[in-house]
Amino acid sequence: MDLRVPTTRRRFFVTATATGTLCRLDNSAGAAAASSRNSYRVFSEGRIAGWRLKNRLVRSATAENAWRDGAITEEGVNLYRDLAAGGVGLIMTGHMGVMPQGRASDLQTCIDDDRFIGSLRKIAAVVRATSKDCKVAAQLAHAGMQGQATERVGPTETPWPRLKNKPRALTTKEVEAIVAAFAQAARRAKEAGFDGVQLHAAHGYLLSSFLSPYTNARTDKYGGSLEKRVAVIREIVEQARPLVGPDFPILIKVNCDDLVAGGIDIGNFPQLAGEIERAGVQAMEVSGNNPIREKISTAEEQSYFLKHARALQLKIPVILTGGNRSVERLEQMAKVGRPQFFGFARPLLREPDLPARWREGRGASDAACISCNRCIRAYGKGLSTRCRVDEAD
Ligand SMILES: Cc1cc2nc3c(=O)[nH]c(=O)nc-3n(C[C@H](O)[C@H](O)[C@H](O)COP(=O)(O)O)c2cc1C
């Protein structure tokens, strides 16, 4: 079914957010659904570890490009105020660098030193001050072979197909230091007031290249078998847990498909996910390579990792991310009960109040985001992260 609405039938209205961004909302396609969706399962309480989440809608990590001189900018803080005000149940921050050698770019938020805790506290504090029932987790990352600002490293010298140069293979001691850095970053996240952390093990970043049989052919304790590929995750959780205590959820975002022969795919993902669950993480966000797909317009193009998420048999909750655009489709999935949660990145840049709008039955049942990807292209140029649909590339 084609969910596109002919342009001649489109009507728009404009809302202002706390950051002053203007959101243009398509007020036509879902006009029939003008009553509240309070009874929908996507707006029912959900549980992740000890959290009670007010709904099943999660803001997926979206790097802010808002880190200057060792601190988060005011624009960065406002981004989180808007999100918390907009009704989402759980916010993942943009990825934060756990060690200087693993930074994705010079503009990436840092959590690699205690001196940053004061600034990071502003993010957790603004979320808490804006919405008492919205949780916020810090996403922790090492860029691995995708760093723009640092030496490119990986489990072995095999690069992802889209990268030209070979990464340098990390020594066992270096991997042990990275594990310790993730654990220390989790401690800092707790001290900065976050409700939990998420390990970024997707999209070609370092942890995802350890999990993938395509990039990890190590012969030490960090490679060679499924269990050993997951060892890096197991050790991070084991080392972080005593530092953060038992009530601080540790989540993970993973690739369900590397989109390369010999990598993670729908056939081997369920077994890998089971092993990652045994490593002690408390929820799994399902993403994959080519995560930010452009021009999603038909129903078939939405929620593009659904098949992979449905293949899982886990006890921990699953968050499905990538191309979630229609509240009615989400409700259908939520009724089946798998996945239990839904992640959004681009739609919440366009409409931070999308969860509230959907719940109240205002406007279209589709998100206004048209996946033009101007936001990610601008991010790549070092511009601050926001919806840029009305700007030229
Ligand atoms: C500007 C931008 C920045 C992103 N930064 C991150 C990030 O820091 N960590 C991460 O795991 N994913 C990141 N993503 C990917 C999103 O979390 C998400 O997986 C992807 O955009 C698909 O979801 P969507 O269709 O709701 O946008 C980013 C996406 C965008 C558009």
CA of 32 to the centre of ligand 1 (A): 31
pLDDT above 90 for 71: yes
Whether the CB of 288 sits within 6 Å of ligand 1: no
pLDDT, tens digit, 9 for 90 and up, residues 319-372: 999 999 999 999 999 999 889 999 999 999 999 999 999 999 999 999 999 999
Where is pLDDT greater, at 87 or 19? Answer: 87
Residue-level pLDDT at 23: 33
CA of 62 to the centre of ligand 1 (A): 5
Concatenate the DSSP letters of all residues of 219-234 into one string.
Answer: -STTSSSHHHHHHHHH
Short-list 166, 273, 147, 254, CA closest to 207: 254
Indicate which residue of 40, 80, 205, 222 is catalytic.
Answer: 205
Q: State the number of CA atoms in the 13 A half-sphere of 191 facing the CB.
A: 17
The neighbour count for residue 368, using CB atoms within 10 Å, is 21
Atom of ligand 1 at shortest range from CA of 348 = 26
Domain range 16-380, CATH class: alpha beta
Short-list 141, 238, 278, 239, CA closest to 197: 141
> Which residue, by CA, sits nearest to atom 29 of ligand 1?
62
Residue-level pLDDT at 233: 98
> Is 379 assigned a catalytic role?
no
> Which residue, by CA, sits nearest to atom 6 of ligand 1?
62
Going from the C-alpha of 251 to that of each of 63, 93, 176, 346, the distances in angstroms are 17, 13, 20, 21
> Which residue, by CA, sits nearest to atom 5 of ligand 1?
62
pLDDT category at 148 given cuts 50, 70, 90 is: confident
Are β-strands 135-141 and 153-154 bridged in parallel, bridged antiparallel, or unpaired? unpaired
Structural domain boundaries of the chain?
16-380
Are β-strands 135-141 and 90-97 bridged in parallel, bridged antiparallel, or unpaired? parallel
CA of 281 to the centre of ligand 1 (A): 21
CA of 348 to the centre of ligand 1 (A): 11
Atom of ligand 1 at shortest range from CA of 375 = 1
> Which residue, by CA, sits nearest to atom 16 of ligand 1?
345
CA of 388 to the centre of ligand 1 (A): 15
Do 344 and 375 contact (CB within 8 A), yes or no? no
Residue-level pLDDT at 34: 56
Whether the CB of 212 sits within 6 Å of ligand 1: no
> Which residue, by CA, sits nearest to atom 31 of ligand 1?
376
pLDDT above 70 for 310: yes
pLDDT, tens digit, 9 for 90 and up, residues 250-293: 999 999 999 999 999 999 999 999 999 999 999 999 999 999 99
The phi, psi pair for 108, rounded to 5°, reads: -75, 140
Measured CA to CA, the distance from residue 103 to residue 111 in angstroms comes to: 10
Measured CA to CA, the distance from residue 19 to residue 8 in angstroms comes to: 31
pLDDT above 50 for 152: yes
Which amino acid appears at position 350 of this protein? R
Measured CA to CA, the distance from residue 17 to residue 24 in angstroms comes to: 11
pLDDT above 90 for 44: yes
pLDDT above 90 for 136: yes
Which two structure tokens, joined as six digits, stand for 152? Answer: 């490119």
Measured CA to CA, the distance from residue 13 to residue 375 in angstroms comes to: 21
